[in-house]
Structure 1
Amino acid sequence: MTTLKSRLQDDLTAAIKAKDELRSATLRLTLSAISYEETAGKSPRVLSDDEVLKVITREAKKRREAAEAFDKGGRAESAQRERAEGDLLAEYLPKQLSDEELAAIVADAVAEAKAGGAEGQRAMGAVMKIVNPKVAGRAEGGRVAAEVKRRLAG
């Protein structure tokens, strides 16, 4: 079993003992998503820590999107709960890059891609191939893509 998954299970046990309903419900759903991912496909497998991290990232993103939808629908209590669950999941994710750190990584990647002959907006794919491994798990794809587009346009 991966260390991140076992940490989630240990935290779930502690949350249940402490009668922390929010934490236990959130961790149950996340562990359920991890189990589903392990059994999806042709044969069962054990996820690596990186794969577990991707599942947690996806679950946190779902919470953010649900909170926005609840806000638009005028359901403030539900939105607040979704945000709380998202914040709880964020504890298990790597620290997100600041806008300045992301801009610096993208600027270096754009320079590298242009040195390799990539030009204009068509360089987007080349730049993303360079940037993605450097920011994996520390910045959302949409945020990265927006910064790359901004750099290539300017």
Structure 2
Amino acid sequence: MSLKDQLKTDMKEAMKAREAGKVALSVIRMVNSAIKNTEIDKKIELEDSDILAILAKEMKIRQDSLAEFEKGHRDDLVTQVKAEMDVLAKYLPAQLSEEEIRHIVVEAISTLTAPIKMGDLMPLVMPKTKGCADGKLVNAIVKEELAKVN
């Protein structure tokens, strides 16, 4: 089942759940809207990989909002954003742990010859971590490992 079909099925279930499915319904509708807008703008039918990119973007927006709401002590909004993130997390692939990312980075470093630059290393690491890890975390680990090598 494609990701788009899964979203439609889950939206129907959220509608049937009434009050219990309100958060899921609003998040799924928002994602469907983003997918439709992207399809209209690009004049193409999106693949699952494109839909995953949209989901990751929406998750990133909520992570940034969560940090701001926590700074502002807005517990009501923190709760709401966390619930939305839980819904989005069901559709995203499992996130890589810090150790797994570090292993990917060290492996990529071993394929390069000295002197190793960030610009040489990132194109090797990012395709392996795309959608499965936060870019900021990957960037930080790459910097740490480069500091050890250089």
The answer, yes or no, to whether TM exceeds 0.5 is: yes
Aligned-pair RMSD on alpha carbons?
1.3
Choose the corresponding residue for 2:134, options 140, 143, 146. Answer: 140
1:29 has 2:23 as partner: no
Deviations 1:29-85 (CA, angstroms, capped at 9, x unpaired): 1111111111124xx211110000000000011111111111112211111111110
SS class of match (1:138): coil
SS class of match (1:102): helix
| Structure 1 outlier segments of 4+, above 4 Å | none
Alpha carbons 1:106, 1:131 under 8 Å: kept: yes
Structure 2 stretches of 5 or more lacking a match? none
C-alpha separation in 2, matches of 1:33 and 1:82: 18
Alpha carbons 1:30, 1:56 under 8 Å: kept: yes
Alpha carbons 1:61, 1:86 under 8 Å: kept: no
After TM superposition, the score normalised by the length of structure 1 is 0.90
Partner of 2:2: 3
C-alpha separation in 1, matches of 2:86 and 2:128: 24
Structure 1 stretches of 5 or more lacking a match? none
Of all paired residues, the percent bearing the same amino acid is 36
Deviations 1:58-114 (CA, angstroms, capped at 9, x unpaired): 001111111111111221111111111012101111111111111100001111123
Equivalent pairs counted in the alignment come to: 146
